[in-house]
Chain A
Amino acid sequence: MSGREARLTQNPLQKIWVPNVTSRLLRRRGSSVPQFTNSPTMIVLVGLPARGKTYISKKLTRYLNWIGVPTRGIHHACAISALRDVCSYFNRQEGQVAVFDATNTTQERREVILSFAKENGYKVFFVESICEDPQIIAENIKQVKLSSPDYVDCDKEEAVADFLKRIECYKLSYTPLDDDRDRNLSYIKIFNVGSRYLVNRVQDHIQSRIVYYLMNIHVTPRSIYLSRHGESELNLLGRIGGDSGLSPRGAGFASALCTYMRDQNISDLKVWTSHMKRTIQTAEALGVPYEQWKALNEIDAGVCEDMTYEEIQEHYPEEFALRDQDKYRYRYPKGESYEDLVQRLEPVIMELERQENVLVICHQAVMRCLLAYFLDKSASELPYLKCPLHTVLKLTPVAYGCKVESLFLNIEAVNTHRDRPENVEVDRDPEEALETVPDHI
């Protein structure tokens, strides 16, 4: 073993310590999250039409991308094209997971996929959705099939009947995954939209996470309300972070929020806040029980806590520029990055999936992360999502996505959104750096 001395440098953007010397140990560039994967994984959906395969595929893809696992959905009727896409995604585009959304209802078809995966050193995990409840199937058809181009000029009932006949065709050749014959495969069978699961041979970390996620999602209609705390004293001063209380207008917002939520008339609403004074003060005005999550605390700005952007530019101009260069991965010295925030928020997302009606009172960066999850925004878009004060976002799952209703509660507040300036170079002038700073006291 070498007694090699570790000379480390901290990469300026993510503040990750990496060895100076070129190591013969091939290592991926510093990442804020350990990569518990080696081989790429193919997730293969199995099931008759209208069993929620596409719903599951899209949701799973969205979740995996959000937690930082590059994932793509593969949609091709032709297996060969699909598998070619998978190869390209894994080999040339650094994909980690490919979700193959098709019926894959015959053993033969699945064999083709398994051979292909074996040849290429990919892992395979099957997700089979089994449902015989006619009501669920009919609802499914109405929600997502009727809007398809196939049924554009059809009467609803006719379309449903036609689609049911389509399903019958598949049924003839459908071989579900078999407990005995397929006992060496890795898979999860989902019965009746999640009342029962059969899980076989989970191979690794990512499959374990996928199983956990699939077991926590549901299709019960509900709404998720996202909002920031009311305007705070530090907001008014243009200062970031800290733990200040509400300004008078912020308190006004809290009352308005109370009225709004009451009018929404939701049975059994859960209310969540962070551990910071301003979200708790906001929740207090609602007069209902609420739960505090430390995980919902605002991004830790480290040495820049409580500073104005002008002060950051003055004391840490290089940091300020680096942040503009890659706002998602940039970590404040002794603080966090958006990338860190996403990891921190994952249990919150998991619990949001389990829950039904929830109001989350949080913070700007936190809300951006949560919103990015629901609206499938990329890492580059996420840190610039607009989440103004005193505005409630009501998210309602519909079909394969999320309907967003934005409601400004009509109480004036300072703007805290700083757009990416044009010049992000370290050698830029202070004016260029501060161009997009919103007004404050």
Chain B
Amino acid sequence: LTPVGVSLQSLCMTNCPTLIVTVGLPARGKTYISKKLTRYLNWIGVPTREFNVGQYRRDYMKIYKSFEFFRPDNEEGLKIRQHCASAALNDVRQYLSDEGGQVAVFDATNTTRERRMTIFQFAKQNGFKVFFVESVCEDPHVIQENIVQVKLGSPDYTNCNTEEAVSDFMKRIQCYENSYQTLDEVLDRDLSYIKIMDVGRRYLVNRVLDHIQSRIVYYLMNIHITPRSIYLCRHGESELNIKGRIGGDSGLSARGKEFAKLLSQFIAAQGISDLKVWTSQMKRTIQTAEALDVPYEQWKVLNEIDAGVCEEMMYEEIQESHPLEFALRDQDKYRYRYPKGESYEDLVQRLEPAIMELERQENVLVICHQAVMRCLLAYFLDKTAEELPYLKCPLHTVLKLTPVAYGCKVESICLSAEAVNTHRERPENVEVSRRSKEALLTVPAHQ
């Protein structure tokens, strides 16, 4: 029988674990895709891990000399690369079969049909489904940019100047070119795969087998690499914030209104063309957006976490009327669901369409709420479920996220120091038997 309370995610997507296999010449974005996909799947609750064969090679070899290592006639090199791939597959097996992993992303060039067959057999033997993700690109500008962004800084090239590094890397690519067998419509018609062409201009999708593959395809078809920034901030300080009460739908305090003006000036100064502004459907975010005097979209999914029976209470009141609930929340803040309310876990499910649309968009300012902002931030910064509910998202502070290389640069801009603190740390004692004082130790000051 199905255990009660298990979310759909983990059931719909399981029977067999899935092995995602990247395919493509060097500098085609395989690692970028692997890392991003892994981050997304983990965020929506599907335990995923990437296995970068290049990293195994670096760990094994310690020192990288030159592209010669990758020459097709370098027997010694081939042996070592084979060994590294096997070691990675072994770890894949352990992760998926023994450690509860649901998806493994095997990140390597995998440019020959023979190699892909080997991996396919391996997966079959172990009861894993296989989904190939191929990236094909011949645009020299894209490849150049790729090399500049992520190869030059690689450990392989620490002691090279730019010219040397680029030249060596181009020769490295050449080593693969002659034997490259792209996924073929006819020869590979029974495989499940997506072929991404020219950084997303065109896709070929073949034999999507199940829910998780369908979600992966949808995600890959929505991401892009156009430079842009995402601005996250909370509404200005609200009347209920000042009183130390959670939830509700109050308006901005005087200081909150002040923040809205400062936000408006800040955004204007950023000089962004075509900025999209999103708010929730709660008064305080909309009031904040109104001060910007630009069009904005209201989105119910961005509403603050529903605290159910605890809506509009102070922490002191929650401790008094629901001490058990209060302790349970401290024990597992991510999974804890307020009675007649939501959990952070629920919030992530609710926010998934917002993340998908953020991936599609370019410059966006999201004016939201503390718990919502924590969830969005956790997605961009690859934070775990344990860390997420304790991320610091203070009032009146804008986080500017700019994708760079394989991750995200974060700039924190505090627009005004004047606001109440709403961040409650996990107290030391989370036991149900604890005293009120211990429970309320970390409650921030309020009126």
Bound: A2/B294 CA distance, A? 10
Residues in B whose Cβ lies below 8 Å from that of A280: 4
Partner of A2, one of B251, B293, B311: B293
Partner of B205, one of A19, A196, A340, A354: A196
Residues of A16-70 at the interface with B, using a CB-CB cut-off of 8 Å, are 16-17, 19, 25, 27, 30-36
In the complex, whether A4 has a CB less than 8 A from a CB of chain B is: yes
B39 to chain A, nearest CB (A): 20
In the complex, whether B204 has a CB less than 8 A from a CB of chain A is: yes
Is A198 within 8 A of B203, CB to CB? Answer: yes
Partner of A354, one of B211, B257, B297: B211
A335 to chain B, nearest CB (A): 10
Is B264 within 8 A of A199, CB to CB? Answer: no
Residues of A202-254 at the interface with B, using a CB-CB cut-off of 8 Å, are 202, 205, 208, 211-212, 215-216, 243
Bound: A36/B201 CA distance, A? 20
Residues of B203-258 at the interface with A, using a CB-CB cut-off of 8 Å, are 203-208, 211, 214, 217-218, 221-222, 249, 251-252, 257
Is B295 within 8 A of A25, CB to CB? Answer: yes
Is B7 within 8 A of A292, CB to CB? Answer: yes
Is B2 within 8 A of A19, CB to CB? Answer: no
Known contacts being A1-B268, A208-B221, A280-B4, is A34 close to B291, with CB within 8 Å? no
In the complex, whether B287 has a CB less than 8 A from a CB of chain A is: yes
Is A216 within 8 A of B291, CB to CB? Answer: no
B110 to chain A, nearest CB (A): 21
In the complex, whether B278 has a CB less than 8 A from a CB of chain A is: yes
Interface string of B323-354 (1 = CB under 8 A from A): 00000000000000000100000100100000
Residues in A whose Cβ lies below 8 Å from that of B267: 1
Is A205 within 8 A of B360, CB to CB? Answer: yes
In the complex, whether B281 has a CB less than 8 A from a CB of chain A is: yes
Residues in B whose Cβ lies below 8 Å from that of A293: 8
Closest B residue to A35 by beta carbon equals B297
Interface string of A386-397 (1 = CB under 8 A from B): 000000000000
Is B204 within 8 A of A198, CB to CB? Answer: yes
Is B290 within 8 A of A8, CB to CB? Answer: yes
In the complex, whether B187 has a CB less than 8 A from a CB of chain A is: no
**What class of interface size applies to chain A in its complex with B?**
35 or more
Bound: A292/B9 CA distance, A? 10
Residues in A whose Cβ lies below 8 Å from that of B249: 334
Is B360 within 8 A of A34, CB to CB? Answer: no
In the complex, whether B409 has a CB less than 8 A from a CB of chain A is: no
Partner of B208, one of A10, A215, A295: A215
Known contacts being A280-B4, A292-B4, is A1 close to B265, with CB within 8 Å? yes
Closest B residue to A179 by beta carbon equals B202
Is A291 within 8 A of B203, CB to CB? Answer: no
Residues in A whose Cβ lies below 8 Å from that of B298: 16-17, 30-31, 34
Counting chain B CB atoms within 10 Å of each CB, which of A36, A183, A291 scores highest? Answer: A291
Residues of B3-17 at the interface with A, using a CB-CB cut-off of 8 Å, are 4-8, 11-12
In the complex, whether A200 has a CB less than 8 A from a CB of chain B is: yes
A148 to chain B, nearest CB (A): 33
Known contacts being A32-B281, A202-B221, A212-B218, is A3 close to B346, with CB within 8 Å? no
Is A292 within 8 A of B291, CB to CB? Answer: no
A202 to chain B, nearest CB (A): 7
- 17 A–B contacts from the bound complex (CB under 8 Å): A3-B261, A6-B260, A6-B286, A19-B290, A30-B298, A36-B297, A183-B202, A196-B205, A196-B207, A198-B202, A212-B214, A290-B2, A291-B6, A291-B12, A292-B2, A334-B249, A351-B211
